[in-house]
């Protein structure tokens, strides 16, 4: 899958990332969506109780692991507001686990209510800050 960006609208750019992830894109394929210095900040949640931050290379590596763990994932956009180069999104994320891994069983459904703050530079993502509230699993 090749990812091409043709918009500087931060909501469109954020949704392009969601669409790519829904197709199973991971690793280097996603690099085109990000600036070279992109970072992410994940606030504490049920899967990452301590939260965490990551560089672009760390994000791309994590996306490979995520693609292997999930049989499918979907991002339902509930609300979105853009202010200059910032997209503020409320999303419902659903996914199906592909194979038994850690606390998860193959076929298990996951659901999270997510607030994302995605900052862009030009046509690429430079920062993601996310608050993921998972339903009990």
Whole-model pTM over 0.75: yes
- Report if residue 37 sits inside a domain: yes
In this prediction, residue 7 carries a pLDDT of 76
SS3 66: helix
Any domain includes 23: yes
For 85, list phi and psi in degrees, rounded to 5.
-100, 20
Q: How far apart are CA 62 and CA 82, in angstroms?
A: 27
Residue 62 falls inside a structural domain = yes
Range of the domain at 119: 10-134
Per-residue pLDDT of the chain (137 residues; tens, 9 = 90+): 445 555 789 999 999 999 999 999 999 999 999 999 999 999 999 999 999 999 999 999 999 999 999 999 999 999 999 999 999 999 999 999 999 999 999 999 999 999 999 999 999 999 999 999 999 98
What's the pLDDT at 6? 58
CATH number at residue 119: 3.10.450.50
Q: What total number of domains does the chain contain?
A: 1
Short-list 84, 78, 137, CA closest to 111: 137
Check residue 85 and give its pLDDT. Answer: 97
Beta strands in the chain (DSSP E): 34-42, 52-55, 70-83, 86-97, 109-121, 124-134
- Residue 22 is assigned to a structural domain of this protein: yes
123 within some domain: yes
pLDDT of residue 1: 45
* Residue 4: inside a domain: no
């Amino acid at each position: 899958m090749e990812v091409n960006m043709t918009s500087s609208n931060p909501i469109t750019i954020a949704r392009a990332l969601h669409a790519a992830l829904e197709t199973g894109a991971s690793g280097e394929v996603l690099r085109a969506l990000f600036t070279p210095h992109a970072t992410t900040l994940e606030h504490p949640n049920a899967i990452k109780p301590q939260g965490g931050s990551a560089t672009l290379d760390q994000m791309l590596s994590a996306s490979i692991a995520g693609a292997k763990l999930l049989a499918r994932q979907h991002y339902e956009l509930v609300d979105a507001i853009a202010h200059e180069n910032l997209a503020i999104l409320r999303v419902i994320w659903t996914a199906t686990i592909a194979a038994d891994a850690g606390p998860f069983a193959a076929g298990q459904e996951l659901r999270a209510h997510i607030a994302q703050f995605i900052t862009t530079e030009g046509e690429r993502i430079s920062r993601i800050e996310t608050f993921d509230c998972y339903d009990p699993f």
